Structure 1
């Protein structure tokens, strides 16, 4: 979705959560980062001005950055298989880059020249299969591309989106998966869950009680523990303190959703991640103006930082989370 979030320039926040939370900046640059991947103990990122690179999590002096193009492309997607990274720029023409992990040499392996192309997320199910989701054409048909056997192609389907229903390129996390299913979260005029069965390639569509109806509203990020339990976060980026119907969980694979902590959370949120080995009980989330944590399956939330300007997060291990956003990447240590 072509709505661009306001840039936030306040980076100083006082961290205090039972004296057990610490945040360390490990990378600085003039860049907006909305997509990260972890590999070889490094945070890999793609961002504005065609920038792509990494920073070592434990040795931040070990870092490297390249430009994937001479054009000032904006990247909000990033994925990986065993040998390569993949990134797609937003807006048309969309170029699908493949970057070799060994030498960081890149090549464009696919192009989408349709004027409405705008790729919101790229997600790998396994090393041989990936999906990416773009804003639809004027016919409102669901637009997916699939990577199989190293080649990109359009994914045929009959799903028609509502007028004004799309997705948010907020953190590359509006797609989630297990071995059996892929879930895609939409937002805007309608905020629904699309569930793809990987065995028969059929898609089911489920309504949600999420805030929706305006182009700025809806689900921004989802994560699934298994075939049944999942969580969605979002809100309205034009009203970031609003916190009504902006968090929901499912226990039946996305068919039904229960609103959680409505009116009792930190507001607009762009990324959510379930803690490894917590069976879904512990969850971290981040928005432009907060970092929040749940220890009860997303039912209640505590703001653990007022740090601003982060858009995306990822667990490194059970006690470490990395965050990225405007001009920096940071590492948080948690000891709850």
Structure 2
């Protein structure tokens, strides 16, 4: 039975900005966004806010990652500049620039204190570009080139297949494993291990075939159960084959709630300590909740223009999108 009720939903931040990446640290919501903006809002004392510009250029950030000492982000378009922002003094340094014309960064996450993963759209030969970002050495290796010496074995995206820079959530990690979700002409799962450098590609029954279709967001509980959401951003009401789950670590996917959900969805997050049973998701036109491992969904809000969500604790969720950040309390 669905029992979650919204206790409160308040706007804690307003600005002229589009936000598609969030991190929680020190009881604050940290964001990166358009116009080179980066900053935080205190979850409990929302008047406690700070914002800086990472560059004099009008860069657009859709990624944000953190280790224990710093935040990291990369702007989406070429030349793609990687920035490190110190958590103590907000000192900003550039650590790498990707000058490839095809560079377009969709996601940046940390798997552990030493290893970050940054995903770009494929290169001109359709090779996957997944950068393994080694901290503190500040070196970046291409997983594809590191994991195989034989160029015929590179992980190749199909023509028209890429990832979506929608909410910084099309990579999930657990220990040394990672999963990358794609969309467009094909919607697949690439499963890799950055310790063994092994990788596998699995097809999914997700809606796919058009450049606007596919998986937009994934989340995993440990290494077996995973949830994938998405759809078609040009047809927001379409809700066929846009939610799927896996129980075998991403090898096979089962469609859930087809025709019985609120439509196009950009971000999904499993509730802490729920072992995958409970999760919240957000799309441009809805906030939805599942309390049965993603099998059924209930729309709990009609809030519009939100793209990304993150749990602060078991009763508090942060949402962000166009020009604002919201805090939801759930009982």
Q: TM-score, normalised by structure 1?
A: 0.93
In 1: Cα distance, 2:5 partner to 2:168 partner? 31
In 2: Cα distance, 1:152 partner to 1:72 partner? 26
- Indicate which of 244, 249, 261 corresponds to 2:257: 261
Query: 2:225 matched to which residue of 1?
Result: 229
- Indicate which of 132, 135, 158 corresponds to 2:118: 132
Query: 2:239 matched to which residue of 1?
Result: 243
Query: What are the superposed Cα offsets for residues 117-168 of structure 1, whole Å, 9 maximum, x if unpaired?
Result: 0000001001110101001111000101111132132324211110011000
Pairs aligned (count): 319
Q: Does structure 2 retain, via aligned residues, the 8 Å contact 1:180–1:227?
A: no
Q: TM-score, normalised by structure 2?
A: 0.95
Query: 1:182 matched to which residue of 2?
Result: 178
Query: 2:66 matched to which residue of 1?
Result: 80
- Indicate which of 292, 296, 308 corresponds to 1:296: 292
CA drift of 1:19 comes to 5.7
In 2: Cα distance, 1:298 partner to 1:22 partner? 24
Query: 1:281 matched to which residue of 2?
Result: 277
Query: 1:46 matched to which residue of 2?
Result: 32
- Indicate which of 53, 56, 74 corresponds to 1:70: 56
In 1: Cα distance, 2:234 partner to 2:156 partner? 27
Query: What are the superposed Cα offsets for residues 146-204 of structure 1, whole Å, 9 maximum, x if unpaired?
Result: 11132132324211110011000000000001003100000000000000123311110
Matched, 1:152 2:172: no
Structure 1: runs of 5+ lacking an equivalent: 1-16
Q: Does structure 1 retain, via aligned residues, the 8 Å contact 2:63–2:73?
A: yes
Q: Does structure 2 retain, via aligned residues, the 8 Å contact 1:145–1:152?
A: no
Query: What are the superposed Cα offsets for residues 191-237 of structure 1, whole Å, 9 maximum, x if unpaired?
Result: 00000123311110000000000000000000000110000000000
**Structure 1 ranges of 4+ moved more than 3 A:** 17-21
In 2: Cα distance, 1:198 partner to 1:66 partner? 33
In 2: Cα distance, 1:171 partner to 1:131 partner? 15
Tell which deviates more after alignment, 300-309 or 142-151: 142-151
Matched, 1:121 2:107: yes
Query: What are the superposed Cα offsets for residues 87-134 of structure 1, whole Å, 9 maximum, x if unpaired?
Result: 100100000000011111101110000111000000100111010100
